Structure 1
């Protein structure tokens, strides 16, 4: 049951980030969404999977920079205050 719940939450994360990117939301808003995902038990690995999938499927080049920044924040390849995990 818990696995299905987290899978559903992972899909919600992907949908939320896709909508936020298309609405040109700020990087801070996108980070907030991922932090919320972490708070409900989402894993770093699943967040990276979502970001990799978005990077592969979103064609708008201007979104790639945001996605790459988010990937850095998820993996910790950033300043400590921006790290999500």
Structure 2
């Protein structure tokens, strides 16, 4: 799988698999942004995570991809 920052990638993957709320996941996305990662690179990472996801996890990933691309409520925007 594609990696950006192994500890952050593991944190994001774990949060998605546990079903953490979107505000908690947004906090992880802010860490990616603050480390200089672009929305495009994080979106590509999420896309790679979809490959082995069940339907529920894939839906969650798609929700987070909406946040990454800015297709979300202003309060959730990151980039």
Using the size of structure 1 for normalisation, the TM-score is 0.75
Runs (4+) of structure 1 exceeding 4 A deviation are none
Structure possessing the higher radius of gyration over alpha carbons: 1
Q: 1:75 maps to which residue?
A: 69
Q: Which runs of 5+ in 1 are unaligned?
A: 1-6
* Greater relative contact order, per chain length (Cα 8 Å cut-off, separation 6+): 2
Which of 13, 38, 41 is the equivalent residue of 1:43? 38
Q: Which runs of 5+ in 2 are unaligned?
A: none
- CA RMSD across the alignment: 1.8
